[in-house]
Amino acid sequence: MRVGRRSNSRARTARNKELLPILFVVGLALTVLAGLAILPAQTWFSQKQKMAEAEAEIARIEAETVELERELLLLGTDGEIERRARQDFDLVYPGEESYRIVVDEP
């Protein structure tokens, strides 16, 4: 009975030696396939994040554009031109006097 066990053990060892290179190649192939799947996934997530940032920037710029267009329409009115001329440049109509109060800071 011992002889049968030895020959069975040798057969198993020989079979394991034959399977070892095959298992190595299969493991290597699975590792390469996993790497090929991970890199595009990382790129996709990165691009998705950049796209969200770009969309947020576009929304901010569009809101700023609306505000600037509103200000442009306002600047085209005579009342706003007069208000800014008086406020920013101290301009007055002929016959008017302009006063400025200066407060000394402690």
pLDDT at 14 exceeding the cut of 50: yes
Q: Is residue 98 part of a domain?
A: no
Cα–Cα distance, 17 to 31 (Å, whole number): 22
Q: Which amino acid is at 7?
A: S
For 46-104, write each residue's pLDDT tens digit.
Answer: 999 999 999 999 999 999 999 999 999 998 899 999 999 988 888 888 998 888 888 98
The residue segments making up the domain with residue 60 are 2-89
For position 1, what pLDDT does the model report?
Answer: 45
Instruction: Give how far the C-alpha of residue 96 lies from the chain's centroid of Cα atoms, to the nearest Å.
Output: 57
Domain count, the chain: 1
**Backbone phi, psi, residue 95, to 5°:** 95, -15
Q: Is residue 81 part of a domain?
A: yes
For position 97, what pLDDT does the model report?
Answer: 86
Question: Which tokens go with 22?
Answer: 């095959």
Q: Is residue 102 part of a domain?
A: no
For position 3, what pLDDT does the model report?
Answer: 47
Which distant-in-sequence residues (6+ apart) come within 8 Å of 98 by Cβ? 90, 92
pLDDT at 13 exceeding the cut of 80: no
